[in-house]
Amino acid sequence: MTLQTKLDAFKAHFESKVAPAEVVEIFRRTTAELIAGGQAERSLKVGDLAPTFTLTTAEGERVSSTDMLEQGPLVVTFYRGVWCPYCNLDLQAIEEVADEIRALGATLVSLSMQTAANSLKSQRQNKLSYPILVDEGGKTADAFGIRFRLQDELIDAYKGFNVDLPEINGEPSWTLPMPARHVIARDGKIAYAEVSPDYTQRPDPSELVAALQRMKETA
């Protein structure tokens, strides 16, 4: 079963069995507004120089993109948080190709605005072999051009599901990264970029493997 098939199945169940119709409409409308706003198109693209970052793992170790790129390409996925079932399915799907990614010489990391404790919970629940780095305040997501503020009606809808982002993320902004994946070459340039303003739609992680294979063939 593909990742998108799993996401579609969850969405169908959520919209028909869990969420009230008026809340489903809010989710759909605010997603459409984010798409129409064009932020995804304005984010960093293939060929752009990726921002450098030094972040902390859920266990407290500081790691830098510069150091990781000295070892080989870097695969970065932006993760909304432990509370998002779509994102958890995404992390699990990426885990299924993690060995292939590493076999191609790349380092794999996920970035999230959530606190270290929540990232550690995500790693354990999703049985990840790669770390979730703490992007405090979304500064790195902002540098990639994918951080946005939730609309007021969406904030109210999230609160109805007990999703308190200021508590989860440890800061008050009510902002999130759009789900995104980037493959960064050793020279710091972005070789693959995909941003999903509709959080229910994600490309298959096999695209990451294919991007790394293309890089290896053209090296």
Q: How far is Cα 13 from Cα 43, in angstroms, rounded to an integer?
A: 32
Do strands 175-177 and 180-184 pair parallel, antiparallel, or not at all (unpaired)? unpaired
Q: How far is CA 92 from the centre of its chain?
A: 12
Angle between helices 152-160 and 21-37 (to 10 degrees): 140
Token representation of residue 214? 């293309």
Residue 162: the pLDDT is 97
For range 60-67, the mean pLDDT: 98
Q: What are the two backbone dihedrals, phi and then psi, of residue 79, each rounded to the nearest 5 degrees?
A: -125, 130
Summarised one tens digit per residue, pLDDT across range 147-185 is 999 999 999 999 999 999 999 999 999 999 999 999 999
Q: Classify strands 74-79 and 107-112 as parallel, antiparallel or unpaired.
A: parallel
What is the extent of the structural domain holding 42?
3-218
From 213, 181, 2, 217, select the one nearest 103 (Cα to Cα): 213
Tokens of 217: 């063939």
CATH code, 100: 3.40.30.10
Output the pLDDT for position 28.
Answer: 98
- The pTM (predicted TM-score) of the whole model is 0.97
Domains identified in the chain, total number: 1
pLDDT, average across residues 37-58: 98
Report angle CA 69, 72, 74 to the nearest 5 degrees: 60
Q: How far, in whole angstroms, is CA 203 from its chain's centroid?
A: 12
Q: Which pLDDT value is given to residue 219?
A: 76
113 residue type, one letter = M
- Rounded Cα distance, 79 and 76, in Å: 10
Euclidean distance between CA atoms 97 and 212, whole angstroms:
12
